[in-house]
Copies of this chain bind each other. A is one copy, B any other.
Amino acid sequence: MIKNPASSFDLNSYLISKRKKVNAFINEILNNTVNSSRIVQAMHYSLMAGGKRVRPILCIAASEAVGGNADDVLPAACALEMIHTYSLIHDDLPAMDNDDLRRGKPTCHIAFDEATAILAGDALLTLALRILSSINLINEKNSSNWLRVVHRISFAAGHNGMIEGQMRDIASEGTLLSLEELENMHSLKTGALIEAAIFSGALLGGGSPRQIDQLEIYAKNIGLAFQVADDILNVEGDPAVMGKAAGTDNARGKSTYPSIMGLNESKEFAKKIVRNALQALDDFDNKSDPLSAIACYIIERKK
């Protein structure tokens, strides 16, 4: 076990309350659109399909850690969730991972059709950027910071980040990756957007350059820890608790941390990087408790 510096913190209530805030904001955005066409229905369907809101909550928690508040960063938090959702819709397409189900529900192209799913993904990415630049939602005096957020998020989501990660993931199917290749792939595919979430929260929350640097270190470590923990759960998780099958990575010949470094070594590695993440929070006060608790939760969770 890792010593959780925020062990008295009620993470569960925190996650529920922030998730509620994020969902209310997303609903407001979608209900405000004059257009209730099929495309908006598809966007709504995928956005409300039960996501855990990891990126928005990290963005909010980073803002709070530097003394900002949730409302100031909500547009960024929700934009991040829209980008994450668009990436899932496109990854699930027949030409990519060809998945019919996600979180137990039909994927967007199954519930609607392929053309609608492609366009709904495009529209969510576009809406995310529109929200990040909407002077009705953001504080215009802070324009240059919002512009930096647009830049950081579009860098992380683009061909030097998430999209390149997905390309490598597709290309690596059936081949065994080295540890370095695996780490690079995950760092691009999921790490970059998680880091952008933390950066955006920290910058918009008014963090100092030093605080932002420390939170970037935290972000890099928990982004990786998420992936290692996912791979471990896929080996030894309880399907009844996870709500999905275990052992699927192995069956599909996927490169994972346990397959490359071994199961016990993976667990040690996960603990080590969570410790690194916690260490990066050393200079923060108890406003960073949510971030500490999230880091510990990553390797303690059973699903």
Chain A interface (Cβ < 8 Å from any Cβ of B): 33-35, 37-40, 43, 86, 90, 93, 95-96, 113-116, 118-119, 121-123, 125-127, 129-130, 132-135, 140, 143-144, 146-148, 150-151, 154-155, 157-160, 163-164, 166-167, 170-171
Contact = CB atoms under 8 A, between A and B. Distances in A.
A100 B43 CA distance: 28
Given A37-B167, A144-B143, A167-B116, A129 B127 contact: no
Given A134-B151, A143-B143, A126 B96 contact: no
A263 to B, nearest CB: 32
B95 A158 contact: no
A150 B126 CA distance: 10
Contact of A34 (B114, B115, B160): B160
A170 B93 CA distance: 19
Given A143-B144, A147-B147, A133 B154 contact: yes
Contacts of A35: 159-160, 164
A26 to B, nearest CB: 14
Contacts of A38: 167, 171
Contacts of A34: 160
18 contacts: A33-B159, A34-B160, A37-B164, A39-B167, A40-B159, A43-B159, A90-B118, A95-B113, A96-B118, A118-B118, A119-B163, A122-B125, A122-B163, A125-B126, A130-B155, A135-B144, A140-B144, A147-B147
A170 B122 CA distance: 16
A39 B158 CA distance: 10
Contacts of A148: 133, 135
Given A115-B170, A126-B163, 6 more contacts: A37-B159, A39-B159, A90-B118, A96-B115, A116-B167, A125-B125
A108 to B, nearest CB: 12
Contacts of A130: 150-151, 154-155, 158
Contacts of A118: 90, 93, 95-96, 118
Contacts of A126: 125, 154, 157-159, 163
